Structure 1
Amino acid sequence: MSPIFLMSLLFGLTFGQAMSFCAPTEYIIHVEKRECAYCLAINTTICAGFCMTRDSNGKKLLLKSALSQDVCTYKDMVYRTVVLPGCPRHTVPYYSYPVAMNCKCGKCNTDYSDCIHETVRTDYCTKPQKSYNV
């Protein structure tokens, strides 16, 4: 192997995280309950962006830990709760959602993140919409 290739490889592994563009991003979620009269559009922040990954073609040459496929995920988050409008008395009108404060590139944690390739489309309402600004 050439020295230039080795230096490039070491540089990429060392400074890969510094070159990532993972940050809190504004996002609108739409929330509704079957029993309630309205859909609520909530402005919040989620973690989104680009994280450096490593090509697994060189897996025989690298340590297993060097082959990580990191995702943009929560570093710090808080939960906020809203009251859904138009709910009858027998229905619990509360909905809690995460707000990203800081993000990082790391392993996807299924305790608080959706780690699948395709997500269910939730950017619409089937009922009259009301806005809620954080």
Structure 2
Amino acid sequence: MNPALFILLPLVFALTLGQSMSLCIPVEYVIHVEKRECAYCLAINTTICEGFCMTRDSNGKKLLPRSALSQEVCTYKDMMYRTVVIPGCQHHAASYYSYPVALSCKCGKCNTDYSDCIQEASRTGYCNTPQKLHNP
């Protein structure tokens, strides 16, 4: 048997395995919540879905059948909502804030009902008012 085959075969296997396995998992994330009517910016520790999902290039979408195209994102499989009170709010202000907590994740189509499907650079840790840490 050809010695190059012993080197090439494991490499092809590793690349195939790496492409087929997704690394879409819940990760820790800090949400900063601030309202004009409240004295504090609340930093909330939660989990969101993040990671790699296998995607097929859609450049040839006119030549390929629809089933061959795949544009999946790392999104929630199971999640729950928690609600916190933002401290220092005026009496007329809505001081409650509900946020998602990722329990498990999957690769799938982005559902705009509960996910932000646009990837934009955002400024993290941005607060105009003094910051308080929420401890669940």
SS of 2:84's partner is strand
Q: TM-score, normalised by structure 1?
A: 0.81
Structure 2 gaps of 5+ residues are: 1-11
Post-superposition Cα deviations, 1:95-121, rounded to whole Å, max 9, x if no partner, equal: 000000010000000000001131543
Post-superposition Cα deviations, 1:1-49, rounded to whole Å, max 9, x if no partner, equal: xxxxxxx8xxx6xx95x51100001000000110100000000000000
Q: 4+ runs of 1 displaced by more than 6 Å?
A: none
5 Å-filtered alignment, 1:24-103, equals 24-57=26-59, 59=61, 62-103=64-105
5 Å-filtered alignment, 1:100-111, equals 100-111=102-113
Report what 1:23 is aligned to. 25
Q: TM-score, normalised by structure 2?
A: 0.80
Instruction: Calculate percent identity across the aligned residue pairs.
Output: 74
Report what 1:125 is aligned to. 127
Structure 1 gaps of 5+ residues are: 1-7
Q: Distance in 1 between matches of 2:33 and 2:62?
A: 47
Number of paired residues? 123
